[in-house]
């Protein structure tokens, strides 16, 4: 359960990572907010290995973060531009929130500039981009339904810069820490999947490691909120849990560094927040589709033959067969008798088939 933040990327153990961190220059980080709720920043405040103070003061050099920085207005704006100029090509750009594109970007502006322009300028000089949260990864909540503001993820708008997506609403803070520490140590991104998510956190589905999995395999499902099964901690699949569809590490790495603090752990079905097209798009109570089928906790018996037919069924079948045989016999008898009568009184051949000559008939008539 409880995570150990430093060793998260499985490439090295925590001691190695910590030792290397002392030798490296702190990487400059610029954190931009777009259409967001600041939940991703909030999740980062709830870490202790390293704590956020240790992180921003000793491990990274946080140049710009609207929530954490004391400055504001013109002062903050100047800091952003000077950091972009000083660390051009080297800084890590963390984007939080989706970027609206409709109406020339009027739905989001910073310092008079639309979000799209701000992102383009910041991304052009970035060493790598971390899109934190579902909104920055693929649009998230603002892109749900009709997507009124034309909200997009970073990877939809920016090409040519290495991008890591850390979807989740919010994502686990150690996903960000692991990615940043990996970049600090090696200067490279962690291994990514097809949706640009680091594999160390997103390579398996919730369902595979769900603590409620034995209930799924035994067919013990909570049927509605608050029922007996729900109170006993049974599987939430039938309440619409998206665990089988959702790639994320929540089932092994719980939130707030407390055991069982994560949606399924507290009895709420997974909504699939890390998956594009599932969270905010598939109805919450709709059942997910299972991808990796495994056997249930039951066993087939030795003999799985057809079993024995019931007595009534046997009787019915006998009746049907008997009547069919009887009908066939009767039909055969009738056919035979009609054949015999036909042989005794052969039917008149049809007139048109018999060649009739008038002369001959006249002769016959004359004969009579």
**Per-residue contact string for residues 332-361; x = within reach of other proteins by CB under 8 A:** -----------x--x---------------
Query: Interacting stretch for other proteins, rule CB under 8 A, among 34-42, 49-57, 153-161, 301-309?
Result: 301-309
Instruction: Indicate which single residue of 22, 89, 266, 293 sits in contact with other proteins (rule: CB under 8 A).
Output: 293
Is 108 a binder of other proteins (CB under 8 A)? Answer: no
**Per-residue contact string for residues 170-209; x = within reach of other proteins by CB under 8 A:** ----------------------------------------
Query: Interacting stretch for other proteins, rule CB under 8 A, among 56-64, 170-178, 295-303, 326-334?
Result: 295-303
Is 72 a binder of other proteins (CB under 8 A)? Answer: no
> Which residues face 132 on adjacent strands?
96, 166
Query: CB 337 → other proteins: shortest distance, Å?
Result: 16
Q: Is 244 exposed, middle or buried (0-12, 13-18, 19+ CB in 10 A)?
A: buried
Q: Is the dihedral of CA 103, 105, 111, 117 positive or negative?
A: negative
Closest CA to 179 of 129, 142, 245, 135: 129
Query: CB 332 → other proteins: shortest distance, Å?
Result: 16
> How many residues in the shown chain lie near other proteins by CB under 8 A?
17
Q: Which is nearer to other proteins, 64 or 234 (CB)?
A: 234
Closest CA to 245 of 212, 278, 216, 221: 278
Cα(182)–Cα(334) distance, integer angstroms? 94
Query: CB 293 → other proteins: shortest distance, Å?
Result: 4
Per the omega criterion (within 30 degrees of 0), is the bond before 170 cis? Answer: yes
Instruction: Indicate which single residue of 86, 256, 294, 333 sits in contact with other proteins (rule: CB under 8 A).
Output: 294
Query: CB 215 → other proteins: shortest distance, Å?
Result: 12
- Is residue 9 within 8 Å of residue 253, measured between CB atoms? no
Cα(2)–Cα(202) distance, integer angstroms? 17
Cα(98)–Cα(100) distance, integer angstroms? 6
- In the complex, which residues of this chain contact other proteins (CB under 8 A)? 216-217, 237, 290, 293-296, 298-304, 343, 346
């Amino acid at each position: 359960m409880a995570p150990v933040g430093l060793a998260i990327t499985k490439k090295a153990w925590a001691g190695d990572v910590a030792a290397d961190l002392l030798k490296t220059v702190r990487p400059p980080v610029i954190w931009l907010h777009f259409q967001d709720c600041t939940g991703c920043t909030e999740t980062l405040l709830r870490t202790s290995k390293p704590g956020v103070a240790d992180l921003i003061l000793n491990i990274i050099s946080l140049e710009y973060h609207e929530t954490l920085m004391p400055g504001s207005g013109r002062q903050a704006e100047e800091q952003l531009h000077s950091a972009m100029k000083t660390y051009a090509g080297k800084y890590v750009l963390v984007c939080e929130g989706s970027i609206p594109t409709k109406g020339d970007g009027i739905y989001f502006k910073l310092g008079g500039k639309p979000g799209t322009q701000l992102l383009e300028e910041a991304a052009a000089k970035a060493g790598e981009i971390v899109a934190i949260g579902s909104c920055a990864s693929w649009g998230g909540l603002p892109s749900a339904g009709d997507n009124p503001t034309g909200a997009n993820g970073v990877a939809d708008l920016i090409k040519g810069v290495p991008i890591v997506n850390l979807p989740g609403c919010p994502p686990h803070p150690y996903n960000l820490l692991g990615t940043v520490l990996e970049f600090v140590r090696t200067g490279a991104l962690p291994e990514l999947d097809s949706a640009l998510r680091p594999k160390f956190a997103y390579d398996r589905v919730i369902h595979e490691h769900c603590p409620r999995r034995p209930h799924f395999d035994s067919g013990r499902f909570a049927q509605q909120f608050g029922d007996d099964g729900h109170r006993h901690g049974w599987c939430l699949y039938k309440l619409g849990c998206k665990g089988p569809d959702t790639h994320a590490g929540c089932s092994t790495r719980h939130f707030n560094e407390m055991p069982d603090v994560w949606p399924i752990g507290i009895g709420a079905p997974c909504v699939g927040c890390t998956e594009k097209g599932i969270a905010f798009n598939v109805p919450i109570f709709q059942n997910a589709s299972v991808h990796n089928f495994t056997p249930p906790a039951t066993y087939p018996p030795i003999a799985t033959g057809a079993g024995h037919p019931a007595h009534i069924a046997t009787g019915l079948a006998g009746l049907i067969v008997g009547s069919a045989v009887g009908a066939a016999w009767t039909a055969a008898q009738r056919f035979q008798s009609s054949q015999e009568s036909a042989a005794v009184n052969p039917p008149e051949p049809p007139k048109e088939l018999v060649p009739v000559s008038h002369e001959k008939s006249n002769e016959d008539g004359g004969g009579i």
